[in-house]
């Protein structure tokens, strides 16, 4: 078993622990000629710039938190609800087909899906706006209007990931003792009462763990999705930390600044995970640690 585990340990050592060596870039004025060790220390200058001098960072941080919170509020319960509904399907073939169809969007990259979404939401020839025109509603620029862009992000993200997210909850539901449902039926409980008093409490530990992990990624608002869908017209509501890191780090070569941003994200993430885990365990639920 240790021999089988060895390749995974090597992978983690190279790609997860090895890059920690570069964290010091957040405190150095990096020069490619001098290298990481030879570059001069600048202390917390990058952090001071981000929080007190940068005209954009606080707006970008706000956008990131808002979009992530929307995804948690509306996206996190979606696969739970779908899993509970699928668990109630008694016709096996229909259940398998429905599951397969719901999984499909997950396997497409956002590069592909962004093209489909742009076509579907086009204000000139998109089917969504065509349906709106049938009820005398003017075309809506979903991807170019600041009032609709965040909602579009949340809805399309749910559509892509809802099926894949049900897998772990369906697996947990299969472990529920069937005799509990039989006893509930004898006591006169209908389907909704069975879901409320048996299904949900049975998978609550899994829901709790997934919620803790979701909070840990609150500053990851979805770079792939936003990068492929946003435009300068909606930068004020769509520009997030990851897109800022892309422009500053890869396009402009500000490696020290972007490393500082990444370190800040990781500190916030681990703090939220540990804090939420502590609160959840105090409430008597299972945590991740």
Q: Is the pLDDT of residue 93 over 70?
A: yes
Q: What is the pLDDT of residues 251-266, one digit of tens each?
A: 888 888 888 988 888 8
Residue 118, pLDDT score: 92
Residue 289, pLDDT score: 65
φ, ψ of residue 161 to 5 degrees: the values are -110, -5
Q: Is the pLDDT of residue 187 over 90?
A: no
Cβ atoms of 240 and 221 closer than 8 Å: yes
Average pLDDT over residues 83-106: 89
Cα–Cα–Cα angle for 59, 64, 66, nearest 5°? Answer: 95
Average pLDDT over residues 111-126: 91
Q: Is the pLDDT of residue 3 over 90?
A: no
Cβ atoms of 52 and 204 closer than 8 Å: no
Cβ atoms of 51 and 57 closer than 8 Å: yes
Residue 7, pLDDT score: 92
Q: What is the pLDDT of residues 50-72, one digit of tens each?
A: 888 888 888 898 999 999 999 99
Cβ atoms of 225 and 154 closer than 8 Å: no
Cβ atoms of 209 and 287 closer than 8 Å: yes
Residue 108, pLDDT score: 92
Residue 287, pLDDT score: 67
Q: Mean pLDDT, the chain, as a whole number?
A: 88
Q: Is the pLDDT of residue 194 over 80?
A: yes
């Amino acid at each position: 078993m240790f021999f089988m585990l060895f390749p995974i340990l090597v992978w983690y050592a190279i790609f997860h622990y090895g890059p920690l060596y570069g964290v010091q870039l957040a405190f150095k004025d990096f020069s490619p000629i001098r290298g990481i060790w030879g570059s001069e220390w600048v202390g917390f200058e990058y952090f001071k710039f981000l929080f007190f001098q940068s005209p954009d960072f606080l707006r970008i941080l706000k956008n990131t938190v808002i979009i992530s919170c929307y995804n948690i509020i509306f996206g996190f319960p979606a696969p739970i609800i779908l899993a509970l509904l699928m668990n109630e399907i008694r016709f096996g073939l229909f259940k398998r087909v429905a599951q397969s169809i719901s999984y499909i969007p997950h396997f497409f990259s956002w590069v592909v899906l962004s093209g489909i979404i742009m076509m579907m939401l086009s204000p000139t020839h998109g089917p969504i706006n065509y349906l709106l025109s049938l009820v005398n509603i003017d075309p809506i620029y979903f991807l170019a209007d600041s009032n609709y862009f965040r909602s579009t992000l949340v809805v399309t993200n749910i559509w892509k990931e809802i099926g894949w997210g049900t897998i772990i909850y369906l697996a947990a539901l299969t472990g529920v003792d069937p005799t509990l449902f039989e006893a509930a039926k004898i006591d006169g409980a209908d389907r909704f009462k069975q879901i409320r008093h048996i299904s949900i409490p049975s998978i609550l530990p899994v829901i709790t763990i997934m919620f803790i992990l979701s909070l840990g990624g609150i500053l990851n608002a979805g770079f792939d999705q936003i990068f492929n869908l946003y435009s300068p017209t909606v930068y004020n509501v769509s520009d997030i930390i990851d897109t800022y890191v892309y422009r500053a780090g890869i396009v402009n070569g500000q490696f020290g600044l972007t490393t500082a941003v990444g370190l800040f994200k990781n500190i916030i993430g681990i703090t939220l995970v540990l804090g939420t885990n502590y609160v959840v365990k105090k409430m008597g639920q299972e945590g991740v640690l």
